[in-house]
Amino acid sequence: MDIPIFPTDSPPQSKDQIRIEDLVVTPYRDRFRVHLHIRVTPFLERPNLLLVARDNNNRIVSELNVIETMHHTMEFTMHLRGLSEPAGQYTLLADLFYETRNPPQDRREVPFTIPEAE
């Protein structure tokens, strides 16, 4: 009997084929945290990720480094820091890279909104 290690519909790819396939940002109800769901191409060599959230003034409010991830589908919680009131427009920038981030191998930018308090 064969037990597949990887899903048969998406075999692991070589390093040069790896991309960010999906990135979803969902604010938590407390408005000071966001849930991230990120999916990258299944890989043979483990990539790095840098995730940076910026406010409307381009100020960094959260940052997350993922070094040589073992999973191609990931979920994280980012805390928005240094804010007394988080309502507003933000951008999450995700860089996927191997040896160097300049330039990244792939980049995804997702705008998101933290709503006013209810």
pLDDT in tens, 33-90: 999 999 999 999 999 999 999 999 999 999 999 999 999 999 999 999 999 999 999 9
Predicted confidence at residue 10, as pLDDT, reads: 80
38 in Cβ contact with 16 (< 8 Å):
no
Indicate whether 31 belongs to any domain. yes
Domain with 104 in it: 15-114
pTM, to two decimals: 0.89
Predicted confidence at residue 4, as pLDDT, reads: 56
User: Mean pLDDT, to the nearest integer, of 104-109?
Assistant: 97
* DSSP tag of 43: B
Indicate whether 67 belongs to any domain. yes
CATH of the domain at 38: 2.60.40.10
Nearest to 46 by CA among 97, 10, 93, 102: 97
C-alpha R_g of the chain: 16
For residue 28, is pLDDT > 80? yes
Order of strands, edge to edge, in the sheet holding 33-40? 20-27, 33-40, 73-79
Quick: pLDDT tens for 78-87: 999 999 999 9
- Beta-carbon contacts of 46 under 8 Å, excluding residues fewer than 6 positions away, are 68, 69, 70
Indicate whether 48 belongs to any domain. yes
Predicted confidence at residue 18, as pLDDT, reads: 97
What's the chain's average pLDDT? 93
Indicate whether 107 belongs to any domain. yes
Indicate whether 108 belongs to any domain. yes
Domains in the chain, number? 1
Residue 72: HSE in the Cβ half-sphere, 13 Å Cα cutoff: 17
Indicate whether 88 belongs to any domain. yes
